Amino acid sequence: MDARGVAVYTDRPCNTVDALPREAPPDPAAGTSIEEGFAVRGCARKPEQLLEGVRGALEARDVNRLANWYHWTGTGSGAARYLMDDLEAIAERPLVTVELMYPGPALTQGESVLADPGVGFTSPEPTASTENTGEVNLTPLSTPPADAPDAPEPDRLRVRQTASAADISAVETEFRLVENAGCWWIER
């Protein structure tokens, strides 16, 4: 952090840019290893490892751990600076949940699946059991069918957070999932 309290990202020692190192946040999962869920050098070999790595970074509110899971290939230095600012804002918000999403309609900015019960869900044809009760079994489109022999790979990771500790309004961020060099990564 520089003298004004602004985050500085550099590959040089902090004192050479008139900054001080930021203290690492306390690990909320005290007693567990930071390396848990990591493969070689933080590479997630499966989407579930990526999910756990991103969740751990957000629970610790650690932007550097979150950036470890980002697919930086092709990102220029100017874009990387703005992206780190975005990732820092995401890492600072209180976490509600992180989930893998499967092929299907993605939410747009500000859209909620609760806003319209029909958005993102399919309703089966009425059967004798549903005709009599009037119940409708809703199945999320973003969940892979359990009995499908070739279930699709997840294509997004959704992060649900509150705006701040004082403001519990919901904030959702979706990252695209990218498989590259045998590893899974998030991308905006």
So what's the pLDDT on residue 50? 96
Query: Domain spanning 14-103+150-187: which CATH class is it, in words?
Result: alpha beta
Tokens for 75, please give them.
Answer: 């990102």
CA distance 20 to 62: 17
Distance between first and last Cα of the chain:
25
Q: What's the token pair of residue 179?
A: 């498989």
Considering the entire predicted model, what is its pTM?
A: 0.58
Domain residue spans in the chain?
14-103+150-187
Asked whether 177 and 156 are in contact (CB, 8 A), the reply is: yes
pLDDT per residue rounded down to tens, the chain (188 residues) = 777 777 777 788 888 888 887 765 544 444 444 444 443 356 899 999 999 999 999 999 999 999 999 999 999 999 999 999 999 999 999 999 999 999 976 555 444 443 333 333 333 333 444 444 444 333 344 455 555 557 789 999 999 999 998 998 999 999 999 999 999 999 99
- pLDDT score at 4: 75
Q: How far apart are alpha carbons 120 and 181 in whole angstroms?
A: 32
**Torsional class of 169: left (φ above 0), alpha (ψ -120 to 50), beta (otherwise):** beta
